[in-house]
Chains A and B, each alone.
Chain A
Amino acid sequence: GENVEQHPSTLSVQEGDSAVIKCTYSDSASNYFPWYKQELGKRPQLIIDIRSNVGEKKDQRIAVTLNKTAKHFSLHITETQPEDSAVYFCAASIKGGSYIPTFGRGTSLIVHP
């Protein structure tokens, strides 16, 4: 089955700095890679996703890159703000049918004002 590794487990940055979270996956058939943000005590919510036919996707201050050959993808947050503090999860799956995403273990991002 799919295995997703996520690093680092904790990331501490100063407000305004950039933050990068990296994930690797094992199943070359995976074609959908979402990122979820979970604020303290709340449910995870999708913030950005990328499909295997795209190498990069941006949405304002966040971007995701995908390297299919190396089987890794990364989340980039620029100009971090205190409200970016949360746990971020990457996931990998094969879209279609019985869609079962495999999640990374999460990264706790702390943005210091």
Chain B
Amino acid sequence: SQTIHQWPATLVQPVGSPLSLECTVEGTSNPNLYWYRQAAGRGLQLLFYSVGIGQISSEVPQNLSASRPQDRQFILSSKKLLLSDSGFYLCATSGLAGNTGELFFGEGSRLTVL
């Protein structure tokens, strides 16, 4: 079956600590992959997208980075978190359902930076 997995679901991190969020997709090949952030429960801000292994496009300059080491794996990272990095992070793919254009989102990772 075609699914998208994202973890961890919740994390609380101190300012200055590193971050790693992981997303994997099953049941499709060469999917487009995206990282979005939601602050204050509203607005989907596109952070990164990838159309293939090692191909990352950044939409917003910040202290976050993304990597795609495998076809169906997308990782969001930070070396040093800021308070402003708190939010709800969503991985998404348009690779399920035969590239109809629909985005499928992971369950989300709620990050609180203290």
Contact = CB atoms under 8 A, between A and B. Distances in A.
A complexed with B: yes
Interface of A: 32, 34, 36, 40, 42-46, 49, 87, 89, 91, 93, 95, 98-101, 103, 105-106, 108
B103 A101 contact: yes
Contacts of A93: 101
Given A43-B108, A44-B105, A99 B94 contact: yes
Closest A-B pairs by Cβ, 10 of them: A43-B105, A95-B101, A32-B101, A103-B44, A98-B51, A46-B102, A99-B94, A106-B42, A105-B43, A43-B108
Given A46-B103, A101-B101, 17 more contacts: A32-B101, A34-B101, A34-B102, A43-B107, A44-B103, A45-B105, A91-B103, A93-B101, A95-B100, A98-B51, A99-B94, A99-B99, A100-B46, A103-B43, A103-B44, A103-B46, A108-B42
A9 B113 CA distance: 27
B67 to A, nearest CB: 18
Contact of A87 (B41, B100, B106): B41
B78 interface: no
Task: Give the interface SS of chain B, mostly helix, strand, loop or mixed.
Answer: loop
